Chains A and B, each alone.
Chain A
Amino acid sequence: MSNSTRCAACKSLRRRCPQDCTLAPYFPSTNPQRFACVHKIFGASNITKMLQQLPVHQRAVAADCISFEASSRVRDPVYGCVGIITQLHQLILVAQRELAEIQGQVALYGAQQGQEQKRMAQSQVHQYNGPIWFTTSQQDPPHLD
């Protein structure tokens, strides 16, 4: 890469950007902030080492994740992305509690409905006896089997 197309890393470090620059594919000159964050938190040589230890096809993902961690740490210098993990854990706990509550309500409604249906079915059986007995010409009520 010529001087005029140095990657963000080499620009920031004020050095020549070689053609095989490890960082160039992941820290383009169009996004200097991305490298600035990562450099502030991890340091250029650490990032280079981390990426060099990975196979090429995994470096883009790793660079994205490292970038995310660095920007989280810049945004929250005490907890970084561990703060996000803690928040998500808490959200999950709250949601599980809510879900259990609602599912309990559904079960309760279901049980109430079941009881109501049973009661209605039983009252229909009693009513059935009355009309037949009064409308037939027989003197005795019908036998119930």
Chain B
Amino acid sequence: MGGNSPCASCKLLRRRCAKDCIFAPYFPSDDPHKFAIVHKVFGASNVSKMLQELPIHQRADAVSSLVYEANARVRDPVYGCVGAISYLQNQVSQLQMQLAVAQAEILCIQMQQEPALPTHQIDSDDKSLLLHSNLNNLPQYLNFASTSNVIQDPLKRESLWT
């Protein structure tokens, strides 16, 4: 960025914006808030180290996710992103229960229609409906006690990637 206007990071940090400035491609001068918030939460030198450890083609996505996390933490200084994770995990659990109920309902209906059939003769297609949901074996991302009090107000489903 040499003789041209410095990027948002170098402007905020009040330093010369080098041609090979690591921040320049991702923090243009027309969006100073983006770098300000990332700097506030993570610190410029930490962000610089994180980006340097990544191949160039992954840095844009890394910056987007850092901006998202930083925004979440500023909006909610206690739970940050974890609030959204907790809310979504609850939704997944509820859907799991609803699926189980619906699957049991189908089984009941089928057994009512063909009561003479022993259970092992249930059609294999029907078996595929039974608990072959993608929700089985869902990893539990949060397992510390303090998340039991996570607020239910989720982060907005805004677009993550600018």
Contact = CB atoms under 8 A, between A and B. Distances in A.
Interface of A: 40-43, 45-46, 50, 53-54, 58, 60-62, 64-66, 68-69, 73, 77-86, 88-89, 91-92, 94-96, 98-99, 102-103, 105-106, 109-110, 113
Contact of A41 (B46, B54, B61): B46
Given A46-B42, A91-B135, A110-B109, A85 B146 contact: no
Interface residues of B, number: 53
A98 B141 CA distance: 23
Contacts of A68: 82, 142, 144
Contacts, number: 138
B103 A102 contact: yes
Contacts of B45: 43
A61 B142 CA distance: 12
Q: By DSSP majority rule, is chain B's interface helix, strand, loop, or mixed? A: helix
A106 B109 contact: yes
B21 interface: no
Contacts of A54: 77-78
Contacts of A99: 95, 98-99, 102
Contact of B110 (A61, A84, A109): A109
A66 B84 contact: no
B129 interface: yes
Contacts of A96: 95
Given A60-B146, A88-B92, A94 B134 contact: yes
Contacts of B157: 89
Contacts of B66: 80
A85 B43 contact: no
A11 B110 CA distance: 65
Interface string B128-162: 01000111001001101011010000000100100
Given A78-B58, A82-B81, A95-B135, A61 B149 contact: yes
